[in-house]
Amino acid sequence: MSFPNLSAIAVRERSLTLFFILMSVAAGIYAFSSLGRAEDPAFTVRVMVVSAIWPGATPEELQQQVVDRLEKRIQEVEYLYRIETTVRPGRADLQVEFQDYTPSDKIPDLLYQVRKRMQDEAPRLPKGVIGPIVNDDFSDVYFSLIAVTAPGLPMRELTRETEAIRDRLQQIEGVHKALILGERSERVFIEFDVARLTNLGITPQVIFDAIEDNNQLIPAGFIDLAGPRVYLRVDADLSDPDQLAAVPIRVGDRLLQLSDLATIRRGYEDPPSYLVRAYGQDAVLLGVVMRKGENGLAFGERLGSFISNEQNRMPLGMNLSPLTNQTDAITAAVNLFQIKFLVAVAVVVFVSILAIGLRAGLIVGIAVPLTLGLTFLLMKITGVNLDRITLGALIIALGLLVDDAIIAIEMMIVKMEEGWDRIRAASHAWNVTAAPMLFGTLVTVAGFVPIGFAQSGVGEYAGNIFWVLAYALIISWLVAVIFTPYLGVKMLPDYKAHAQADAEASANTLYQTPVYQKLRSLITACVRYRKTVVIATVGLLVLSIVGMATLVQKQFFPSSDRPEVLVDIYLPQGSAIATTDATARKIENILTEMPEVKTLSAYIGAGAPRFFISANPEQPDPAFAKIIAIGKNEEARNKIMAELQRHIDDGEFPEARVRVTRLLFGPPVIWPVSFRVIGADPVKLREIAHQVRTAMAANPNTIDAHLEWDERAPVLHLSMDSERLRLMGL
């Protein structure tokens, strides 16, 4: 190469080379200990949810008067892929998906554009519509979900205690946000007898107006004195049921209190829209999101200490229980890498010692931690964390990064056996091996270029495979041409004692060993019968392609090794949440009896919060419930899944469709295979969809073929006689 001989410089400036070796070791240790650690790489979920609530509205009214307007405004936003809308009586949820190739740095602005358009459209919606409510935190992955339970304690007090814990939790270093999930909304119920109101000559609207008149925030002005300005406040807050009971109601020429006409009580949303249970007990959840780039292991330790301290200060009977925690997964992944690293170094050193001798084998073994140390340093500089993808890339690199060091040290040994001095041999290794090694390294790195530069969610998730491998392999080349020659000069034995006086004779003697003779015979035969060799090579290539296509199972991202078992419960559309809850309790009771279950949580009326990057939260639906059971290990998880599937196959839950799955790596994929039927006629759409489902169910390779738009909910239509109602004062 025309580039300066780095090997010659390294062995000439030995003190400087030793300094860089020691600095590389120190910097590598520092970088490894301070690198951010997470279970999965930072990944932008290109999805947001817009919700609109219109109490009393039918799906058709919501679709025509609310959803159509919102969809048209959202369609103005750039990079839009599709809008998936679910409309139920009184509620509509629009899941907005952006194109997979949308640059991640543009997502915040796109979310803002949607939010802005929804705010602009809100005043134009019919009176009574709540929203649009924009959830642009839909992609948040909760580092930990913590259940707060207290059997017998009113939910109101449990929520207040959870709020206090949340406020203290937000002060922990590394917490990006801490949210309360699953709390029951409080309500004040006013129950009155319509017949009695009719006899008194008043209508329910009179009561509503009186409550509204006494619950208004009206500016009372201020008084400017010689000194300070004094603001006037009018106490008109009906935050307490006793205050509400004292609201005056005019009945003819008399004034009655609301308590004279109605029963007032405090309670909770009825029926509830969302229920959360932990270990079979009602619970409120604390969701913790870790700040990007934090060390997950250190953050997990701080979070664990916080939970222990809070548990000690909580009232007797109140418990703080982690349901999910990424610390366990991160610890397992890092420990696995460290074990594989030590095994790889041991294997490399052992094999190298057997092949090229003790000292040469040690030199090759030293190249592994030097390369990884500099790789960690470069990862630290470029902001690449240790996660599932980067650890996998490093494990792949362990089998490749010793090749260049072996080539360089073997070239030195060969030349020293020919009688060259070690300085000259080290310099010569650069001249004949540096360029081929570099080109070979670049060719290997080029094999991972597509995933590194893919403009998609998959590229964003797995792209660091390319970058980490590129770092490791290019640094391994630098170690081989700079540090390895220096170590060879310092550590290799003196091969001159075995050399002949005549260098040319020494070289001839060197290549007359039995091994070299057999290798020469094999190469000669391959050259002589080159056509046969070419045909055999092509045949092996074709055979390998056929074998890969027919025998090797294919899956873009593998199943997760995490111990969670996911149980999805689908009841017929229109089912009451109480019915869904009853089915969920039946399955919870079965799981509670299993000794393999470590933690158990249930979510009724909507999905679980996103505790794993590919676990998309299901939208609110009274007919849906999700149960998450965490096994003690992988074997326990498999037993739980098999036992639950047996109960399902035995028909113990005929009222529901129950699906038992495990987590998958990679971007979110709800169903492996799905078809979308699009058209203007709902009746025809349903007919075609049933035909598709029948065809899929007949395929022996599919299970659980179903429709997401299936049962039609029953509706009772009431025909109102306006004249009679008017005469009755209603």
Residue-wise pLDDT for 191-249, tens only, equals 877 777 777 777 777 777 777 777 776 676 777 777 777 777 766 666 677 777 777 77
720 lies in some domain:
no
Among residues 380, 395, 403, the alpha carbon closest in space to that of 342 is found at 395
Query: What are 624's strand-pairing partners?
Result: 570
275 lies in some domain:
no
3-state SS track over 429-491 = HHHHHHHHHHHHHHHHHHCCHHHHCCCCHHHHHHCHHHHHHHHHHHHHHHHHHHHHHHHHHHH
Distance of CA 129 to the CA centre of its chain: 33
Local structure of residue 106 (DSSP, 8 states) = G
340 lies in some domain:
no
pTM score = 0.75
Residues 24 and 76 reside in one and the same domain = no
CATH number, position 371: 1.20.1640.10
- pLDDT value for 538: 93
- pLDDT value for 536: 92
- pLDDT value for 1: 45
Helix and strand numbers (H, E) in the chain are 27, 19
Q: Are 64 and 132 in contact (CB under 8 A)?
A: no
- pLDDT value for 709: 72
CATH number, position 592: 3.30.70.1430
Residues 483 and 368 reside in one and the same domain = yes
Q: Positive or negative CA dihedral for 62, 66, 72, 78? A: negative
657 lies in some domain:
yes
Q: Are 257 and 248 in contact (CB under 8 A)?
A: yes
Give the rounded percent of residues in the chain with a pLDDT score beyond 70.
Answer: 93
- Kindly compute the dihedral angle of the four CA atoms of residues 62, 65, 68, 72, in this order, to the nearest 10 degrees: -140
Among 271-275, 295-299, 444-448, the range scoring the smallest mean pLDDT is 295-299
Task: Find the domain containing 243 and state its range.
Answer: 186-268
- pLDDT value for 449: 87
Number of domains in the chain: 4
pLDDT at 604 over 50: yes
Among residues 266, 259, 268, the alpha carbon closest in space to that of 210 is found at 259
Residues 131 and 228 reside in one and the same domain = no
691 lies in some domain:
no
DSSP assignments along 565-612, one per residue: EEEEEEPPTT--HHHHHHHHHHHHHHHHT-TTEEEEEEEESS-----S
pLDDT at 15 over 90: no
Q: Are 82 and 68 in contact (CB under 8 A)?
A: no
| Residue keyed to tokens 């270990």 | 279
Q: Which of 227, 246, 268 is the last residue of a domain?
A: 268
The DSSP bridge pattern shows strands 144-149 and 281-290 to be antiparallel
Residues 123 and 205 reside in one and the same domain = no
Among 152-156, 360-364, 499-503, 709-713, the range scoring the smallest mean pLDDT is 499-503
pLDDT at 266 over 60: yes
Among residues 149, 140, 148, the alpha carbon closest in space to that of 175 is found at 140
Q: Which of 629, 646, 670 is the last residue of a domain?
A: 670
Task: Report which of residues 116 and 155 the model is more confident about.
Answer: 116
Among 266-280, 294-308, 592-606, top mean pLDDT goes to: 592-606
Residues 19 and 74 reside in one and the same domain = no
pLDDT at 25 over 60: yes
- pLDDT value for 500: 47
Residues 234 and 363 reside in one and the same domain = no
Q: Which of 268, 294, 323 is the last residue of a domain?
A: 268
pLDDT at 702 over 90: no
CATH number, position 257: 3.30.2090.10
238 lies in some domain:
yes
Give the rounded percent of residues in the chain with a pLDDT score beyond 90.
Answer: 2
Residues 70 and 25 reside in one and the same domain = no
Mean pLDDT of 352-377: 83
Residues 246 and 366 reside in one and the same domain = no
Mean pLDDT of 295-304: 83
Residue-wise pLDDT for 490-537, tens only, equals 887 776 544 444 555 555 555 667 777 888 888 888 888 888 989 999
Residues 504 and 368 reside in one and the same domain = yes
Task: Report which of residues 390 and 555 the model is more confident about.
Answer: 390
Residues 497 and 629 reside in one and the same domain = no
Residues 403 and 502 reside in one and the same domain = yes
Q: Give me the chain's average pLDDT, please.
A: 82
Residues 410 and 489 reside in one and the same domain = yes
